[in-house]
Amino acid sequence: MPTHLGQLSAKGKRFGIVVSRFNEFITRRLLLSAVETLKQAGGDEAALDIVWVPGALEIPYFCQKLSRKKYDAIIALGCVLRGDTYHFECVSNEVTRGISQVALETGVPIASGIITADTLEQAIDRTGLKAGNKGAHAALAALEISDLSQNFESPQRRKS
């Protein structure tokens, strides 16, 4: 039976990264790890476009904007921390839904590195401590899904 696996190579690929400034203490660590992961996979920093947005709710909109350019994949990075109100659930759900909707509507792969955490300590753990770095995880996912996506393109649409 045919099995398809994506390769973890960034050589010759372009990536867009949308990162939220809100909770920048966390998101900057996600970004640095994502960029380092892409570079270690043979990527060129000149082939990365980074867009900083005010908060997590703006991420899907700018993923859609970037999807109109020629990227192999887009990486979405943000951090939503639970507060004392229902706002956490609304933001978390809408960001996830928006990113998925953009990917499905545009056909551009989007890897999510959005941390949703109850506490700042949990978020910090997801930037390189107990749970690894979710920015690196998102970059690895972007590498894999961009390669898989190319493999499923029609021959006329594939890059030469």
The answer to whether residues 113 and 34 touch, using CB atoms and an 8 Å cutoff, is: yes
Whether 4 sits among the annotated catalytic residues: the reply is: no
Phi-psi region of 128 (alpha: psi -120 to 50; beta: other; left: phi over 0): left
User: Looking at residue 57, what DSSP letter applies?
Assistant: G
Please identify which of the residues 11, 21, 87, 158 carries the catalytic annotation.
87
Write down the residue that tokens 């996979």 correspond to.
41
Three-state DSSP class for 104?
helix
Token reading at 142: 């972007």
Measured distance CA(124)–CA(103) in Å, rounded: 28
Measured distance CA(63)–CA(76) in Å, rounded: 7
Q: Which residues are catalytic?
A: 87
